[in-house]
Structure 1
């Protein structure tokens, strides 16, 4: 067998492997979609969780006591966790940087720019303890309140990275699996989009073979950032209809998979 033939065979085999893997790196699916819901709203309990459960889909609820439901509806959150949804950490008091434009809603007591690193890390750790009391789990992900990742020049989550599978930021992006920054995972914040617009994002992720994370606040009310029940339902039904090619899972499951994939391909 000549050298040229051997080289040709090697190239054909390599091409076949790449072709077989293309678009199927996401747990043998074409893309991954993570549905995340912030701030522990009543609407998450009353609207979102029943909609997800009716279709057998699992989401991630990033809990803080921003609205008080951790105190008033503790049993409901425990049930949501028991049903296979992730209860993620969004800090207890939801502090944000108050020294940025458009942050007039941030009170002095919850101004992250006035926090010490130790203070925010203790609050995050405290929230993990509470969430474990809810669901009994040690494995979960984090979401930065307002997408703020630093106090001054310091990334405040760095000392606690080992406590989380990953952390969601707020920058809109659909990264390929090898380019996902596990401690600042991008997402698309939803506010007023139609069902067709939400589905268009999913189709884009399928075509690109990428990760798509949705960030919802109000679903059918409850927040100034809101999406209609109809639009949300249309998205969920589309995902269910296409789950043979779309991997829909909680953030901690997807982040763990990404970590393993990245470690094996370095």
Structure 2
């Protein structure tokens, strides 16, 4: 049975989340000599947040049908992580990434309609050390599932401010990349869509936009044919069929693999000292 906190959180996310998100401030400089491997012209990162059972039931079989690898961002306290533990282990063994989405999904309680955020999970009151420790423990737990030492991260609710300030830079070096928060690279690598109840055409058009820019189409799904922020099996499959039809020019892979390549080949726009 779902906990009251997760039920309320799901209701809030469904009611208030925007489809298109852009978190980072990027340099306007474009490194024109960047190229994707082989003959690829752009990359597509299919991602799935919150460790939802509908992802195991619907997304995984569809991805495996087409031979695509994706990233699944597990919130470790979510019942879907616990109930599907052995399935998630198999998912990782099959080449999908298990990404970090924290243990308790901390969000800002001070934002509008955030009554569902428990006081003890309110990021507004957490110190930088507390959030860093939670994320570090989540990494250790994920390593126990998949034996991997590198992975990527998605930020719950897009909320980055603790009681002591923004935590993104505190954890950045713990990850290959943070989805939507990579200002050291060109903005075309952070194109992000979080869809709900959309058509396959909408998903495909977003991929085409990234393709034109030579960037990454980051599609951050939640429920597939169930749960919340739902996308239908039909729309999801139409997207996968399009990607399959264009697999010679579109690199579809898990986010870790894509961003490892970007880190290797793309000179940071604002190198840190």
Name the TM-score, length of structure 1 as normaliser: 0.83
Q: Which residue of 1 aligns with 2:240?
A: 236
* Residues 264 and 97 of structure 1: CA distance in aligned 2, closer, same or farther (over 3 Å): closer
How far the C-alpha of 1:178 sits from its partner, in A, is 4.6
* Residues 219 and 66 of structure 1: CA distance in aligned 2, closer, same or farther (over 3 Å): farther
**Aligned positions, number:** 239
How far the C-alpha of 1:152 sits from its partner, in A, is 4.6
* Residues 214 and 50 of structure 1: CA distance in aligned 2, closer, same or farther (over 3 Å): same
Q: Distance in 1 between matches of 2:209 and 2:168?
A: 31
Q: Distance in 1 between matches of 2:188 and 2:174?
A: 16
How far the C-alpha of 1:111 sits from its partner, in A, is 1.1
Encode CA deviations 1:27-85: one digit per residue, 9 max, x unaligned.
24111110010000001111111110111000000000353122222100000000000
* Residues 261 and 153 of structure 1: CA distance in aligned 2, closer, same or farther (over 3 Å): farther
* Residues 197 and 78 of structure 1: CA distance in aligned 2, closer, same or farther (over 3 Å): same
**Alignment match of 1:67 (pick from 58, 66, 78):** 78
Q: Which residue of 1 aligns with 2:252?
A: 248
* Residues 186 and 202 of structure 1: CA distance in aligned 2, closer, same or farther (over 3 Å): closer
* 202-211 vs 119-128, which moves further: 202-211
How far the C-alpha of 1:150 sits from its partner, in A, is 2.3
How far the C-alpha of 1:242 sits from its partner, in A, is 0.5
Give yes or no for the alignment of 1:26 onto 2:33: no
Q: Which residue of 2 aligns with 1:207?
A: 212
**Contact 1:61–1:88, Cα closer than 8 Å, also in 2:** yes
* Residues 178 and 44 of structure 1: CA distance in aligned 2, closer, same or farther (over 3 Å): same
Q: Distance in 2 between matches of 1:241 and 1:74?
A: 33
Q: Which residue of 2 aligns with 1:43?
A: 54
How far the C-alpha of 1:98 sits from its partner, in A, is 1.0
**Contact 1:170–1:187, Cα closer than 8 Å, also in 2:** no
Name the TM-score, length of structure 2 as normaliser: 0.81
Q: Which residue of 1 aligns with 2:99?
A: 88
**Contact 1:24–1:31, Cα closer than 8 Å, also in 2:** no
Q: Distance in 1 between matches of 2:78 and 2:233?
A: 20
> Which structure 2 residue ranges, 5 or more long, are not aligned?
1-30
> Which structure 1 residue ranges, 5 or more long, are not aligned?
1-20
**Alignment match of 1:77 (pick from 88, 98, 106):** 88
Greater CA radius of gyration, 1 or 2?
A: 1
Encode CA deviations 1:220-260: one digit per residue, 9 max, x unaligned.
0111x111110001101111110100011111111111111
**Contact 2:185–2:268, Cα closer than 8 Å, also in 1:** no
**Contact 1:23–1:30, Cα closer than 8 Å, also in 2:** no
**Alignment match of 1:179 (pick from 168, 181, 186):** 186
**Contact 1:170–1:189, Cα closer than 8 Å, also in 2:** no
Greater RCO, CA 8 A, separation 6+: 2
Q: Distance in 2 between matches of 1:35 and 1:145?
A: 17
**Contact 1:217–1:226, Cα closer than 8 Å, also in 2:** yes
